Amino acid sequence: MAKKKTSENDENRASISTIDALIPDDKNFNKGTEYGQKLLEDSLREFGAGRSILIDKNNRIIAGNKTVENAGQIGLNDVIIVETDGTKLVAVKRTDIDIDSQKGRKMALADNSIGKVDLSWDEELLRAVAEDMQFDPHDWGVDLAEIADDEEEQEAKEKHVDDWFINIECTGEAQCQQLYDELIKRGIICKIIH
Protein backbone atom coordinates (compact mmCIF):
# COMPACT_ATOMS: atom_id res chain seq x y z
CA MET A 1 0.00 0.00 0.00
CA ALA A 2 1.42 3.37 -0.98
CA LYS A 3 1.77 5.85 1.83
CA LYS A 4 0.98 9.46 1.07
CA LYS A 5 3.49 11.88 2.45
CA THR A 6 1.86 14.24 4.92
CA SER A 7 2.32 17.94 4.35
CA GLU A 8 2.61 20.60 7.01
CA ASN A 9 -1.12 21.30 6.53
CA ASP A 10 -2.05 17.66 7.27
CA GLU A 11 -2.19 17.62 11.03
CA ASN A 12 -2.84 14.41 12.90
CA ARG A 13 -4.93 15.86 15.66
CA ALA A 14 -5.57 13.06 18.09
CA SER A 15 -6.08 13.26 21.81
CA ILE A 16 -6.66 10.75 24.55
CA SER A 17 -9.72 11.15 26.71
CA THR A 18 -12.10 9.02 28.73
CA ILE A 19 -15.47 7.61 27.83
CA ASP A 20 -17.05 10.06 30.32
CA ALA A 21 -16.27 12.90 27.87
CA LEU A 22 -18.69 11.40 25.32
CA ILE A 23 -22.35 12.42 25.34
CA PRO A 24 -24.94 9.81 24.25
CA ASP A 25 -27.44 10.76 21.54
CA ASP A 26 -30.73 11.55 23.25
CA LYS A 27 -32.52 10.90 19.93
CA ASN A 28 -30.89 7.61 18.92
CA PHE A 29 -33.09 5.97 16.26
CA ASN A 30 -31.86 2.47 17.14
CA LYS A 31 -33.40 1.00 20.28
CA GLY A 32 -31.14 -2.03 19.94
CA THR A 33 -32.06 -5.57 20.87
CA GLU A 34 -31.28 -7.68 23.91
CA TYR A 35 -29.58 -10.30 21.76
CA GLY A 36 -27.60 -7.69 19.83
CA GLN A 37 -26.40 -6.06 23.04
CA LYS A 38 -25.26 -9.46 24.34
CA LEU A 39 -23.30 -10.11 21.14
CA LEU A 40 -21.79 -6.62 21.25
CA GLU A 41 -20.63 -7.15 24.84
CA ASP A 42 -19.24 -10.60 23.94
CA SER A 43 -17.36 -9.10 20.98
CA LEU A 44 -15.84 -6.30 23.07
CA ARG A 45 -14.78 -8.79 25.74
CA GLU A 46 -13.26 -11.26 23.27
CA PHE A 47 -11.73 -8.92 20.68
CA GLY A 48 -11.56 -5.49 22.33
CA ALA A 49 -12.47 -2.37 20.38
CA GLY A 50 -12.41 -2.73 16.61
CA ARG A 51 -14.60 -0.26 14.80
CA SER A 52 -14.44 3.45 15.60
CA ILE A 53 -17.41 5.47 16.74
CA LEU A 54 -18.42 8.90 15.42
CA ILE A 55 -18.88 12.02 17.54
CA ASP A 56 -19.76 15.59 16.64
CA LYS A 57 -17.75 18.72 17.45
CA ASN A 58 -19.36 18.79 20.91
CA ASN A 59 -18.47 15.15 21.77
CA ARG A 60 -22.08 14.01 21.20
CA ILE A 61 -22.28 10.50 19.76
CA ILE A 62 -23.56 10.31 16.19
CA ALA A 63 -22.82 6.60 15.65
CA GLY A 64 -21.78 4.04 18.23
CA ASN A 65 -24.05 4.76 21.19
CA LYS A 66 -24.47 1.06 22.01
CA THR A 67 -20.74 0.42 21.62
CA VAL A 68 -19.88 3.21 24.05
CA GLU A 69 -22.47 1.98 26.54
CA ASN A 70 -21.14 -1.58 26.45
CA ALA A 71 -17.49 -0.51 26.48
CA GLY A 72 -18.05 1.52 29.64
CA GLN A 73 -19.80 -1.39 31.33
CA ILE A 74 -16.85 -3.72 30.78
CA GLY A 75 -14.15 -1.20 31.68
CA LEU A 76 -12.93 0.05 28.27
CA ASN A 77 -12.80 3.64 29.47
CA ASP A 78 -10.01 5.25 27.41
CA VAL A 79 -10.86 6.92 24.09
CA ILE A 80 -8.55 8.16 21.34
CA ILE A 81 -10.28 11.10 19.66
CA VAL A 82 -9.16 11.84 16.09
CA GLU A 83 -10.29 15.22 14.81
CA THR A 84 -11.26 15.42 11.14
CA ASP A 85 -13.47 17.48 8.85
CA GLY A 86 -14.67 14.40 6.95
CA THR A 87 -12.39 14.86 3.93
CA LYS A 88 -10.20 11.90 4.93
CA LEU A 89 -11.13 8.38 5.88
CA VAL A 90 -10.08 7.43 9.41
CA ALA A 91 -8.81 3.84 9.74
CA VAL A 92 -8.38 1.97 12.99
CA LYS A 93 -5.34 -0.31 12.71
CA ARG A 94 -5.24 -3.24 15.12
CA THR A 95 -1.57 -4.19 15.40
CA ASP A 96 -2.34 -7.38 17.32
CA ILE A 97 -4.69 -9.00 14.78
CA ASP A 98 -4.17 -10.63 11.38
CA ILE A 99 -7.41 -11.03 9.42
CA ASP A 100 -6.30 -14.48 8.24
CA SER A 101 -6.24 -15.79 11.79
CA GLN A 102 -9.17 -17.35 13.63
CA LYS A 103 -9.48 -14.22 15.78
CA GLY A 104 -9.40 -11.96 12.71
CA ARG A 105 -12.10 -13.88 10.85
CA LYS A 106 -14.30 -14.20 13.96
CA MET A 107 -13.94 -10.46 14.53
CA ALA A 108 -15.03 -9.72 10.93
CA LEU A 109 -18.06 -11.99 11.35
CA ALA A 110 -18.97 -10.39 14.70
CA ASP A 111 -18.71 -6.89 13.20
CA ASN A 112 -21.10 -7.76 10.37
CA SER A 113 -23.61 -9.78 12.35
CA ILE A 114 -23.96 -7.41 15.32
CA GLY A 115 -25.08 -4.58 13.04
CA LYS A 116 -27.85 -6.81 11.73
CA VAL A 117 -29.16 -8.31 14.97
CA ASP A 118 -28.88 -5.15 17.10
CA LEU A 119 -31.07 -2.93 14.92
CA SER A 120 -34.54 -2.09 16.21
CA TRP A 121 -35.88 1.20 14.85
CA ASP A 122 -37.61 3.67 17.15
CA GLU A 123 -40.28 4.40 14.55
CA GLU A 124 -42.03 7.14 16.53
CA LEU A 125 -38.81 9.05 17.23
CA LEU A 126 -37.53 8.59 13.68
CA ARG A 127 -40.82 9.87 12.22
CA ALA A 128 -40.83 12.92 14.53
CA VAL A 129 -37.20 13.88 13.89
CA ALA A 130 -37.51 13.33 10.13
CA GLU A 131 -40.54 15.61 10.03
CA ASP A 132 -38.88 18.25 12.22
CA MET A 133 -35.57 18.19 10.32
CA GLN A 134 -37.30 17.79 6.93
CA PHE A 135 -35.65 14.66 5.57
CA ASP A 136 -37.03 11.42 4.22
CA PRO A 137 -35.77 8.21 5.91
CA HIS A 138 -36.75 6.34 2.73
CA ASP A 139 -33.82 8.09 0.99
CA TRP A 140 -31.59 6.00 3.29
CA GLY A 141 -33.46 2.73 2.84
CA VAL A 142 -35.75 3.05 5.87
CA ASP A 143 -39.43 2.39 5.17
CA LEU A 144 -41.47 3.79 8.09
CA ALA A 145 -44.64 1.95 6.98
CA GLU A 146 -42.73 -1.34 6.98
CA ILE A 147 -41.37 -0.64 10.48
CA ALA A 148 -44.87 0.09 11.78
CA ASP A 149 -46.20 -3.13 10.17
CA ASP A 150 -43.35 -5.16 11.72
CA GLU A 151 -44.04 -3.68 15.17
CA GLU A 152 -47.77 -4.38 14.90
CA GLU A 153 -47.07 -7.96 13.81
CA GLN A 154 -44.65 -8.48 16.71
CA GLU A 155 -47.18 -7.06 19.21
CA ALA A 156 -49.88 -9.38 17.85
CA LYS A 157 -47.57 -12.38 18.21
CA GLU A 158 -46.74 -11.42 21.78
CA LYS A 159 -50.43 -11.15 22.70
CA HIS A 160 -51.29 -14.61 21.32
CA VAL A 161 -48.27 -16.60 22.47
CA ASP A 162 -48.49 -18.62 25.66
CA ASP A 163 -45.51 -18.20 27.94
CA TRP A 164 -43.56 -21.39 28.52
CA PHE A 165 -40.91 -21.71 31.19
CA ILE A 166 -38.19 -24.17 32.06
CA ASN A 167 -36.45 -24.28 35.42
CA ILE A 168 -32.91 -25.65 35.34
CA GLU A 169 -30.91 -26.28 38.48
CA CYS A 170 -27.18 -25.78 37.98
CA THR A 171 -24.32 -27.17 40.06
CA GLY A 172 -22.73 -23.74 40.45
CA GLU A 173 -22.32 -20.21 39.15
CA ALA A 174 -19.90 -21.19 36.37
CA GLN A 175 -22.25 -23.84 34.94
CA CYS A 176 -25.18 -21.44 35.21
CA GLN A 177 -23.29 -18.68 33.35
CA GLN A 178 -22.15 -21.11 30.63
CA LEU A 179 -25.69 -22.38 30.04
CA TYR A 180 -27.05 -18.82 30.04
CA ASP A 181 -24.45 -17.72 27.45
CA GLU A 182 -25.29 -20.70 25.20
CA LEU A 183 -29.03 -19.97 25.34
CA ILE A 184 -28.58 -16.24 24.65
CA LYS A 185 -26.41 -17.06 21.61
CA ARG A 186 -29.29 -19.19 20.30
CA GLY A 187 -31.65 -16.22 20.67
CA ILE A 188 -33.56 -17.65 23.63
CA ILE A 189 -34.80 -15.10 26.13
CA CYS A 190 -33.67 -16.12 29.58
CA LYS A 191 -32.51 -14.69 32.87
CA ILE A 192 -30.45 -15.94 35.78
CA ILE A 193 -32.29 -16.18 39.09
CA HIS A 194 -30.22 -16.87 42.20
Q: What is the pLDDT of residues 11-27, one digit of tens each?
A: 568 899 999 999 999 99
Which residues, 6 or more positions from 105, have their beta carbon under 8 angstroms from its beta carbon?
A: 99
Residue 166: inside a domain: no
Please name every residue paired with 87 in a beta bridge, in sequence order, or none if there are none. none
Q: pLDDT-derived band of residue 8, with 50, 70 and 90 as boundaries? A: very low
Residue 139: inside a domain: no
Residue 42: inside a domain: yes
Residue 30: inside a domain: yes
Residue 18: inside a domain: yes
Q: Residue 27 belongs to what domain range?
A: 14-86+95-120
Residue 173: inside a domain: no
Residue 132: inside a domain: no
Total domains in the fold of the chain: 1
- pLDDT for residue 156: 60
- List the alpha helices (DSSP H) in the chain: 34-47, 65-74, 102-117, 123-133, 144-160, 173-185
